[in-house]
Amino acid sequence: MARTQQVYDDIPGTFVFDAERAKEGYHLNMFCMSLMKDENRKAFKADEAKYLDRFPLTQAQRDAILNRQYNRMLELGGNIYFTAKLGATDGHSFQHIAAIMTGSTQEDYAKMMLAGGRSVEGNRSRSGRDAAHKPAARRAGPKSAAKTGGQSSSRPAAKLGKKAGSKRG
């Protein structure tokens, strides 16, 4: 079954772990979590393909695991925190895995993060770029605070934790 298109699917290089991906990646994530036990890590390292037979993975998920394609695992429903267990099983730090995922060396990735991270330019979603270039729309909502006695919410004053008509300074 094809994945339902989401408004956030146009963020470059990002696979949001939503309910649909969680369902799709359940067995992939259970495989990764199994690596928390030493005996499972040893069995996996002894014969990776055979160990994966314990889980009803799709062929694409199996291939991504065996080829250590972390971005592909995320696309196929993997959770970043679970897939990191695979990297740890291979003796890699989370920073090393993140560097691989960004097509960078670990040293260059660390420098980029220490310098404030990746620029949003060129990495913004199409919808985000479009919204950033539109003039601010007038908000629909309650009348201005001046006309409502200082309240900026449409909820009654009592629900805001104030007595009706009282003002806090």
pLDDT per residue as tens digits for the range 31-67: 999 999 999 999 999 999 999 999 999 999 999 999 9
* pTM for this predicted structure: 0.65
User: Cβ contacts of residue 11 below 8 Å, gap of 6+?
Assistant: 123, 124, 125, 128
Query: Which structure tokens are listed for 135?
Result: 């003039």
pLDDT of residue 153: 38
CA distance 41 to 31: 10
* Distance between CA atoms of residues 164 and 57, nearest Å: 60
pLDDT confidence tier of residue 24, bands split at 50, 70 and 90: confident
